[in-house]
Structure 1
């Protein structure tokens, strides 16, 4: 994990492997900031959806019990939303480096769409 100090706040950047380990240990809340369409097509199991277009840092859960980690497709949108959260008064937040693309490249499991049936299916891992 890398961390960056931004005006007295901390932005953490986690690798997909770090996110997977923390998700498996129930230590984080993973929030996907992609569009609903992207999320429906494929997503990380257990991730919550808060699309960038509707992202409200004030609606984020507290981080007393679990750290918040944001992710998107490539890491660009999640970093932007993490910085938005910091500017809104969240004192520490994380995002996943490389986004969902890096997650898939690392061959970590996710929920995809079975193109033959349109049904969700577990993929990867």
Structure 2
């Protein structure tokens, strides 16, 4: 059995999810319509910085933190706001948005380009 190449999985996920441009995402968050959810590893946040106000939900805990019946549920993620997920380069976030959609989460999107593009375009970041 051959393993599906990761790029194919990401492309398939992106075909079924909402991807917002960096500017669209930033505008929705600024308007109070959305919440940035940073799914990067804690070491990435320490090394690269973070977007101010973004909720940190490590990829490995995301489904557990979203599910209301989970003992690990985080109330901050139980919101009517659109959850805009991002990682470093929008691969993990695409797969994560697809997984959450499959769970029944409707108010969900990802930010194109991820944190690396955010940083490259000079958008504001916080460093430790």
Residue number in structure 1 paired with 2:55: 48
Answering whether residue 82 of structure 2 is matched by residue 62 of structure 1, we say no
1:43-99 deviation digits (Å, cap 9, x = unpaired): 000001111111114243232xx1110000000011111000011111341000110
TM-score (structure 2 length as normaliser): 0.73
Structure 1 gaps, min length 5:
113-119, 121-125
Cα RMSD between the aligned structures? 1.7
Hey, what does 1:116 align to over in structure 2?
none
Cα distance in 2 between the residues matched to 1:55 and 1:27: 21
Is 1:79 the counterpart of 2:94? The answer is: yes
The structural deviation recorded for 1:5 is 7.2
C-alpha separation between the residues in 2 aligned to 1:71 and 1:87?
Answer: 18
Residue 104 of structure 1 is matched in structure 2 by 119
Q: Which has the bigger relative contact order, CA under 8 A and spacing at least 6?
A: 2
Is 1:16 matched with 2:31? no
Give 1 or 2: higher strand fraction. Answer: 1
Unaligned runs of 5+ residues in structure 2 are: 1-13, 68-72
Structure 1 segments, 4+ long, off by >4 Å, are: none
CA distance in 1 between counterparts of 2:94 and 2:24 reads 16
Count of residues in Structure 1 that have an aligned counterpart in Structure 2: 104
State the SS of the aligned residue for 1:90: coil
Distance (Å, rounded) in 1 between the aligned partners of 2:29 and 2:79: 17
